[in-house]
């Protein structure tokens, strides 16, 4: 590893420089090429806090890549890119380099009408700015579905939020990508009878507290008997706030999805629910039989 480090490192730098210079149709294959070289450096990159020069280069190169790509899509627009703070470990940079081209392409489907802000932080990417309220974005629906399927294979969630803009015919769009599905944690649901349902840890950040904000879109419901019901849209008329059920909502572009779970979940260390003693809803220590469902595969269908 030590002998090959300089060669792999300089190859990775060269590819990233090419990405920054071209930043057009060749972005995706070159980004993948860069990922290949830097993936070979994972053991060395896992301690970026002790490698400030490498970290500084990565931050500046990725920021320039994002800015160049969006300027090509929207010439003349004011685009700012910042890190607050950026990823600290090699694995986080891997996920960012894998997913950033797809996120930038999603955002490019919406015509910018003002400054665009791109923020790269540990576990999250945010793209914010005013967009035109026209029908142009709908032309990219099929391509957006393809991008989402790719992101789901990486266990990445990209959700949006629309706010009011100062000018008529515009909206303030926030596209936020959650890169932080931590395999060390899970969102656990105590189903009773010493049985638990384990959901991805990132689901905990998408618990919905106001169901009136859920629009049209399919809804999956898990019953207390572990059956899965597929609703064409959220069953608003049947919904009863009984204090037990919980809604997890994912406002994906063009196709928001909701998930109803029979009981409230909690974020816990994954090793505890995979066989060790785990404290459930009561005070006693109990051992759970765990059921895990691959919701990212379900979202892809």
- pLDDT tens sequence across 92-103: 777 787 888 889
- Band the pLDDT of 198: cuts 50, 70, 90: confident
Query: Considering the chain, what is the average pLDDT of its residues?
Result: 77
Strands 185-192 and 112-121, sheet pairing: unpaired
pLDDT reading at 228 higher than 90: no
What share of the chain in percent tops pLDDT 90?
18
- Sign of the CA dihedral with 158 first, then 196, 216, and 255 last: positive
Other Cβ atoms less than 10 A from the Cβ of 161: the count is 12
Contact yes or no for 258/217 (Cβ under 8 A): yes
Nearest to 89 by CA among 118, 65, 126, 58: 58
The contacts of residue 112 (CB under 8 Å, 6+ apart) are 70, 74, 77, 129, 130, 131
Residue 102 CA to residue 144 CA, distance in Å, equals 9
What global pTM score does this model have? 0.73
How far apart CA 190 and CA 281 sit, in angstroms, is 7
Give, in order, the Cα–Cα distances in Å from 82 to each of 52, 121, 123, 253.
17, 8, 14, 24
């Amino acid at each position: 590893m030590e002998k090959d480090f300089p060669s792999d490192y300089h190859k990775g730098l060269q590819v990233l420089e090419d990405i920054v210079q071209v930043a057009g149709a060749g972005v995706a294959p070159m980004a993948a090429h860069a990922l290949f070289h830097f993936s070979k450096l994972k053991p060395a990159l896992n301690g970026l806090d002790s490698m400030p020069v490498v970290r500084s280069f990565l931050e500046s190169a990725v920021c320039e890549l994002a800015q160049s790509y969006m300027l090509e899509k929207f010439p003349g627009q004011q685009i700012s890119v910042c890190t607050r703070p950026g990823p600290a470990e090699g694995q986080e940079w891997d996920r960012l380099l894998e997913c950033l081209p797809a996120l930038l392409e999603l955002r490019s489907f919406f015509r910018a009408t003002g400054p665009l802000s791109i923020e790269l932080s540990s576990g999250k990417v945010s793209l914010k700015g005013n967009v035109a309220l026209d029908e142009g974005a709908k032309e990219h629906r099929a391509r957006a579905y393809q991008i989402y399927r790719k992101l789901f294979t990486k266990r990445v969630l990209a959700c949006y939020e629309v706010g009011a803009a100062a000018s008529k015919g515009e909206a303030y769009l926030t596209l936020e990508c959650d890169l932080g599905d931590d395999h060390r944690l899970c969102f656990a649901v105590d189903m009773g009878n010493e049985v638990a349902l384990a959901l991805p840890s990132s689901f905990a950040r998408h618990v919905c507290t106001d169901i009136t904000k859920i629009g049209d879109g399919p809804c999956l419901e898990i019953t207390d008997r572990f059956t899965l019901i597929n609703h064409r849209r959220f069953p608003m008329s049947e919904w009863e706030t009984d204090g037990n059920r919980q809604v997890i909502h994912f406002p994906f572009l063009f196709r928001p999805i909701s998930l109803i779970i029979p009981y409230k979940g909690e974020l816990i260390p994954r090793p505890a629910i995979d066989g060790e003693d785990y404290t459930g809803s009561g005070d006693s220590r109990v051992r759970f039989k765990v059921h895990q469902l691959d919701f990212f595969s379900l979202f892809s269908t």
